[in-house]
Each structure stands twice: as structure tokens, then as C-alpha cells.
Structure 1
């Protein structure tokens, strides 16, 4: 009789293990199949998530993205905000990346304001702030923001605002 109950317990344990295996393996198998169908590109169109249908030939075509234009900035030499009696200078040669080549004329007209904003910012910087790639990146972000302020058209103007997208450093010497 003990042998019969031992067999019954072993039988239940074996079927319970199989149930657990099925409960775990079935969702994993379905997830693997779904991922395979998704990454092979079969599933998205079936779910209506595929690419939008191509526009017909009679519809007006969207304007192709233009390559950026570059505007040369004059060389800037400014003294930094350094403690002590010793003066520390920065020499900066840069280019502005602008969204449209047509904006170069507007940037040239705003050059005095642009140089003023750049120089006043550089004069307030400490030499430690320019060290390393993070210092250079912070300077770039600040100069882009200041450049966009400088080239903005006056309030109420109907002309589109020129947009400076980046400042590229050609030379930056701190001495």
C-alpha cells in the first residue's frame, strides 16, 4: 500500500511539473514567434502599422531637406574672468551653421550684436569653465542661444527668423 501511495505522489508531481513547464514555455514561445514576425517585417503591415501608402504622382512633393550652410565668424580675442593679477585670454575662430544659405545676409547685418553677445559671454567665463569636452559643449550651447537672439528679426516683422543650428569651433586657444 505504501508503494501505491508513493506512485500516486510521483505521478502528481510529474504532471504538476509539466503544467508549470507549459504555463511558462507557451507565453515565451508566443513572444519569440511574435518578435520574429515583428523584426522580419511581417507583423507590422498585418496590424496596420506599416509605412503610409506612397503619395500619388499628382500630389505636390514635399521639399527635400537642404544641406546646411556655414557662415564664417571673425576671430574673437577676449580676456577671461580670471582671479589674480595674471590675465588669461581666449582666442576663438568659429563658423555658424545656419539652416538656410539665404540667412547669411541677415546674419551679416546682425554681426555687431552677435560679436557683442559672444564677447560679453566670453569675458564672464572663468578658464576652468572651458576645460574639457563638457566645457566646450556648454560654451557651444550658450553661443548658439546667443546667436539666435542676435539674429532674430525685430518684433512685428513678417520675415522669417534666421536660425543658427550650431557653432563649430575651428580654433580655441586659452592662454
Structure 2
């Protein structure tokens, strides 16, 4: 009889383990399903955030533009852009406290559709004359933060277009910007 009691307790104990295993298995299934939904939702959200189909369309448009530039001959050999290196400019900044602050700026110009590097080099004195007043009116506070370079670059492009006309300068590439 002692054996019968052991057998019955083992069977009852085994049933208890099986009853506990069902809720644990169910919890695991629910957690796994929730994790799957979060992963799919996160992936879809990242796809939408990064541009989705718009990014693919932009890549296609860039590839088409690159092929068109090669067919037209571009600005140089192989359709690559040529750059006009502008000598570094050192300009004193406006300052309310009376101290001296300087900015050293080295940049390059990308010729637009109406210009070649040679024509831009010939018009460089006009362009530098247009940049001087803008750079001299900058304050040290204007150069703080990561957006400062972007603002300076955009203002230089606007001044190039107003001085030379639209289509002469496609972009301004800032190589060095040092404030002292």
C-alpha cells in the first residue's frame, strides 16, 4: 500500500505541475506575441520615419540626375563637379565688450549651370567684397551651436546669387571655420 500512495502522490504532483505549466506557457506565448508586434511596429515606424517610399524615389531621382549630368558632359571629366578654392579669410567680429574676436573662414564654391571654375575665379573679388560686410557684422554669439555653420553657408549662397546672379554658384562648401 505504501507503493500505491507514492504512485498516487506522483500522479497528483504531476497533474499539479501540468496545471502550472499551462499558465506559464500561456504567459510566454502572450509575451512573445507582444514582442513580435512591438518589433514589427517599431520596424514600420522606423521605415516611415526614415522616409519610406520617398527615400527610394529620391535615390532614383539622384541616379537619374547623375546619368543626365554624364550625358550632358557635366562640369568636368566624367560629369564630376569642379570646385573653386577660395583663400582663407580672416575677419574681425563685432563685439560689445570691446575685446577682439576673429573668425578664420576657408571655403570652396561649386560652380552652377551658368559658370565654369574659370569664370568664378575671375569674379572672386566681387564675391569676397559681398562677403566682407556680412562676416564683419557677425557676433561671437552668432557662431555658437551646430546650426551656425548652416546659417553662414546659406547666407553666403544668398549673397553669391545676389552678386553674380542665379545659376553661377550652386553651393558653398565650408572647409574651416575657426573663431578666436
The offset of 1:102, in angstroms, is 5.4
Q: Distance in 2 between matches of 1:69 and 1:162?
A: 15
Which residues of structure 2 form unaligned runs of 5+?
1-70
- Report the equivalent of 2:154: 141
Count residues with an aligned counterpart: 107
Answer yes or no: is the 8 Å Cα contact 1:107–1:162 preserved in 2. Answer: no
The offset of 1:162, in angstroms, is 4.6
The offset of 1:64, in angstroms, is 6.5
The offset of 1:148, in angstroms, is 2.1
Which residues of structure 1 form unaligned runs of 5+?
1-61, 153-160
The offset of 1:73, in angstroms, is 0.5
Q: Distance in 2 between matches of 1:84 and 1:105?
A: 43
- Report the equivalent of 2:7: none
Matched position secondary structure for 1:69: coil
The offset of 1:67, in angstroms, is 2.6
1:57-107 CA distance string (max 9 Å, x none)? xxxxx6376332211001101011111110110001111122359522221
- Report the equivalent of 2:110: 97
Matched, 1:86 2:99: yes
TM-score normalised to structure 2 length: 0.53
Equivalent in 145, 155, 164 of residue 169 of structure 2? 164
Matched position secondary structure for 1:83: coil
Q: Distance in 2 between matches of 1:128 and 1:150?
A: 27
Change (3 A) 1:162 1:64: same
TM-score normalised to structure 1 length: 0.54
Matched position secondary structure for 2:117: helix
Answer yes or no: is the 8 Å Cα contact 2:86–2:108 preserved in 1. Answer: yes
Answer yes or no: is the 8 Å Cα contact 2:160–2:169 preserved in 1. Answer: yes
Q: Distance in 1 between matches of 2:153 and 2:126?
A: 17
RMSD: 2.4
